[in-house]
Amino acid sequence: MNWFIDKITSILDRFGDKIPSVNFQWEKFDQFMNVLTPYLADANVIFPVDDVLVMLGILLSVRAVLFAIWCIKFIRDLLPF
């Protein structure tokens, strides 16, 4: 069993070496937010857009965590031991 786990680990390491690293360009995000901020400020007078965006962010993060838990459970159910 240890040999099997070692082989899977080496395969995943090789895949990880081929995947390029992700670089998030914060400068472009800051530029986008600088353009979007005046519109959000105007929209907040009529409707609380900031609050809705925060609630959507929380909802998406909870769903992502639940999906990760489900994936782990699904993989554990597939294993024969």
Q: In this structure, is residue 11 part of a structural domain?
A: no
Q: In this structure, is residue 27 part of a structural domain?
A: no
d(CA 80, CA 31): 51
Q: In this structure, is residue 73 part of a structural domain?
A: yes
Q: In this structure, is residue 30 part of a structural domain?
A: no
Tell me the three state secondary structure of residue 1: coil
Q: In this structure, is residue 12 part of a structural domain?
A: no
Tens-digit pLDDT profile for residues 33-80? 999 889 888 888 888 888 898 999 999 999 999 999 999 999 988 888
The pLDDT value recorded for residue 46 is 87
Number of domains in the chain: 1
The pTM of the full predicted model, rounded to 2 decimals, is 0.50
- Name the pLDDT band for 19 (thresholds 50, 70, 90): confident
Name the residue range of residue 54's domain. 40-81
